[in-house]
Structure 1
Amino acid sequence: MRRDSVRLGVLAVVAMLAAACGDAGKPVDPAPIGSVQPPQPAHVGGADPSKGGGGTADTSCDPKASLSPNGVGLTGFSAASTMGKIKQRGKLVAGVDQTNFLFGFRNPTTGNLEGFDIDMVKQVAKAIFGSDEGRVQYRAIPSSQRENVLKDHQVDIVVRTFSITCDRKKRLGFSSVYYVAGQRILVDGNSQVKQLSDLSGKRVCATATSTSLTKIATDPSKPVPVSVDNWSDCLVMLQQGQVDAVSTDDVILAGMAAQDPTLKIVGDRFTEENYGIAVPIENDDMVRYVNAVLEGVRNGPWQASYKQWLGSRLPEASPPQATYQ
C-alpha cells in the first residue's frame, strides 16, 4: 500500500507540472531597458588642486637647466655611486608607460615594451652595463604615480613623457631636456573644433597630475577638465563619446591618431613641454651621469629613434640642445 501511495503521489506531481507547461498563461513583460551607457575607466575625476598638475605657473627657476656632466665618465664610476649600486644589482629599474603608442607601449605581437622613451631607457642601461641594453627591469606606471615611485625609491629613473617644471624640480632631479613637445587637441574627425577656446563648457580629457590637465582647468575659455589614470583611458572615452576632446602633448596625440584614423589633431601648439629623465632628488650623481649619456644620444641615436617612431607622423625634428646650471 505504501509503495502504491508513493507512486500515486509522484504521478500527481507530474500531472501538475504537465498542466503548468501546457498552459503558459500571459507572458510577463521584461523590465523596461533604457539607454545603456558604456562603462567609464576607473578613477575618472575632474581637476584636483590637491594633486597639482606640474605647477606650470611657477617661474622661480629655469626648468630646462640641469646639472653639468662635465668631467663625468660613462665608465669608471665608483661602486659607492648610484650607478655603481645599480650595476652591482644587475638591473636598471625604470618607470615607464606601456599605453602610450610610439613613446612607451607594449608590442602586442612580441610582448616587449617599445617606443621613443624606451629607447632612452636602453641608452642609459647600455652605458651603465657596457653595451648590454637589455639589463632593464621595466615598471609600468600610470602618469599619476611618476613622482611617488621615485620618492619611494621603487625605481631608479622615470622616462615617461615627463615635463620638467620648477614645481616638480623642488621634489625630483631632472636631466637636461631630451625632447620638446607641445599641447594640442584630439577630436572626432567630424568635429568642428579648431582650438581650445572652441571647447568652452565641453568635457576635455587629460591624465591626473599632468601639466595638460592644469592647462585645461585654468584656460579662460573654461572647458570642463576630465581626469583619468592613463592616456589610453582618454582615447577610449573619446571613442565612446564620453568626452568631447583629448588635450595633451602632440606626440601622445599622434599615437592615438595612429591607432584610430577616425580621429584628428587640430590647432597649433599652445604650450611647450620639455621632457626630462627624472631621478630621486638626492641622486645628483645620477642626474650628471644621465646628462653625459644624453650628450652621446644627441649625436646619432636620437635621430634614429625619432625616425623610427615619429618621423612619418610629425614634422622633422632635431634633438634639443642641453642647458646646464
Structure 2
Amino acid sequence: MTGADDGTSASASTKLDPLSPFSLVNQEGPGQAITHIKLRSDNYEEWSRSMRRSLKSRRKFGFCDGSIAKPTDDDFLLSQWEVVHCTVVQWIMNSIDPSLLDSVSDTEDARLLWTELAAQYSVVNGCSRSSLNRAHGSATWSQGDTKVIAAVYGPKAGTKKNENPEKASIEVIWKPKTGQTGKPEREYEMILKRTLQSICILTINPNTTTSVILQVVNDDGALLPCAINAACLALVDAGIPLKHLAVSICCCLTEAGEVILDPTKLEEQTMKAFVYLVFPNSISSALPQGSLDTNDEPMEHGIITSVTHGVMSVENYFRCLERGRAATAKLSNFLRNRLQSAPQLPG
C-alpha cells in the first residue's frame, strides 16, 4: 500500500503545469523561428525587442536574464530545464543572420549568449559626436545602460608642473554622476591619461595641454571602457593628431570559467575576475590630417592597456584577450564606418 502510494505521489509531483516555463507545447522545438527579424550588425535594438517579446510570451525570457535558475542535481525538473534551455539557445541562434554566426561563441549558456550579443551589437546606436557646442570636440558613448559624455578643450599653451614642455600634455578630469571624486575616479583618470597619451602624437603641439573631461551620465557596468571609447571619439572630433584610435572592452570571468563581455554593474559584482582591455585600431582615412606622421611601430595586433581586477590564471587571461580582440574588431569596423561617413570630420 505504502509503495503504491509513494508511486502515485511521485507521479503527481512530476507532472508539469502547462503554464510552467519548463513546458514546451507540441509546436515548440529547437528548429522553430520565433521571430521573423534576423539579427544583423545594424539592427540589434529592433531584434532584441522582438526576441524579448517572443520569449516572454512563452515564459522563457528568464533563461536569458538568469531569473530562471538551473535546478539542483536532485531536482526532478533538472532534465526538463536542460531541454528547454537548449531550445532557447537554439531559438536565439536561429534568429541570427548567417553572416554573423562566425562571430558568435560556441557557448551553450543562454544568459551568456544573450549578454555577448548585446555587448557586440547594442553599441551600434550608442555613440554620437559634437554633443557639446562649447567644447573643441565632444562625444557621447553608450554601452548598454552605461553612458559617458567626453569633452575636449585645447590644445592650450603651456604645460603643468612635472610635464615635459617639449611634448604636448594630456589632462584628464573625471566627473562622477553624483558625489565627489574619490580614489576610484583618480585611478580612472590615471589609466585614461596613460591610454590617451599612448595614442596621441605628442610632438606635434609641444608645450601645450589638452584637457579631456569625462562626465558619467549613468553607470551600469563596464564604465571605464565606455569612457575610453567616448574620450577617443572626442579627440577625433577635436582634430587632435592621433597615431591610431583605441577601442576598449571589459571581459569578465564567471566562477564557472565562462567569459562574458561588457557586464552590467550587478554582474561585475558577482564575477570571479574581470579585465579592462584597450586595443589599437588604425583607420588612416578617418583620422585628422597629420595623424599618421609618426615613426612609431603599428600596434594592430598589440594591446594598449590592460587592467585586471581579481585573480585569473594566465590561460583565462588569454581567453579574455581572444574574446576581447574579436569583439573590438567589430567595434572597430563600426567606428571606421561612422567616422568615414561623418561630414564634420576634420582635415
Shorter-chain TM-score: what band? under 0.3
**Larger RCO (CA under 8 A, 6+ residues apart):** 1
**Larger Rg: 1 or 2?**
1
Q: Which one has a larger percent helix, Structure 1 or Structure 2?
A: 2
TM-score, structure 1 normalization: 0.25
TM-score, structure 2 normalization: 0.24
